[in-house]
Amino acid sequence: WLLHMRKDKEYEGMISRMAACTISMLDEWKRQLAIEAKNKSLTIEMCEEFRELTSAIIAHTFFGTSFAHGKEAFNAQTKLQHLIAASSFDVFIPGIQYIPTRKNLEIWKLDRKITKSLQCIIESRLNSQSDSSFYGDDLLDIMMDTKNDGPNKLNMNEIMEECKTFFFAGHEATSHLLVWTVFLLSLHKDWQEKLRQEVMQICGMEIPDPDMLSKLKMVNMVLLEALRLYCPVIELVRMASKDMKLGDLMIPRGTGLVIPITMIHRSKEYWGEDSNDFNPMRFINGASKAAKHPNALLPFSMGPRNCIGQNFSMMQAKTVIALILQRFSWSLSPDYQHAPDKNLTLQPQHGLPIIVKPLQL
């Protein structure tokens, strides 16, 4: 964990890659507008757009020049995650996970593919002779550059698990954070304009740097409110590592606990009578003072076991939203059907069609 905290500042150097991927997506929107809509407006399915975008961002920032091989591993992980999520609804029969059913065979095949792909990339880096110029170029290099970390040095399996965790945080969860943020800003045009004014005042038409992103207070407030109302991870599962007392309850060691994030985030006890309303101003003094309890906001968990991809995910979301606000306005398509659905993460069951209009022709 100390290693992650020390490396966090180095992740800020990845903003330019996040921006490059985002601008590529926005240029494609402009191209489609010029050809199909004569520069007026265009309806875009945002779930698919952001899924592709965050996949490209995590592949480029994590693997740099090896992004094509990294994307192959991550695509396999996405399939694996959805297979495992689907199996969670099955009736569990002890030992069935070891039987070569069709689903298990597919799970084992995908797991081997992920492991083999990541091992090849990591071993190639480890065998590189140009250590002095090699490390620090992308997130994988930063993670592997632990030669001075002593007992904190990561081994091969730990590096592979970190790759998988960052992919989930930087791709799946961030993708749907962007989806719900765009959805909320399409309903609340006044906040969309407030954020645009803040971005133009601080960034102009420049690509945001870490200093600029830290000054986007209202953008951060809206992202926190989106995480509160439509948190991609709707519950956390933990197991008690020892006997402990939780309030008035005695929790025996080995007990499984479910933390219902959605219920906590919309609780009137903690958030007041407007707990179901979109109100980013509640975060004007920070997340810890937004509710009646300092830990009532749990999008990335809390404490020493909170998500290691939290800062990376928030930097990515701020960068993408800022770049879109610089170039486009948007509104909700009349074809949208509101049906939030849990499929690994909380996402619109029928997609998110958004009407975008260019601000500068």
Q: Which residue has the tokens 């659905």?
A: 341
For CA atoms 238, 73, 1, 126, give the dihedral sign: positive
Q: Which residue has the tokens 């399939």?
A: 79
Contacts of range 349-352, beta carbons closer than 8 Å, 24 or more positions apart: 351/45, 351/46, 351/47, 351/48, 352/45, 352/46, 352/47, 352/179, 352/182, 352/183
Q: Is 203 annotated as a binding residue?
A: no
Rounded Cα–Cα distance for residues 296 and 283 (Å): 12
Nearest 10 degrees: CA dihedral of 339, 188, 313, 282?
-110
Rounded Cα–Cα distance for residues 302 and 208 (Å): 28
Helix crossing, 156-167 with 67-87: angle to 10°?
70
Rounded Cα–Cα distance for residues 39 and 138 (Å): 37
- CA–CA distances in Å: residue 45 to residues 117, 332, 350: 31, 11, 10
For residue 353, give the nearest of 170, 136, 179, 143 by alpha carbon.
179
Could you list the residues known to form a binding site for heme, using ranges.
307
Could you list the residues known to form a binding site, using ranges.
307
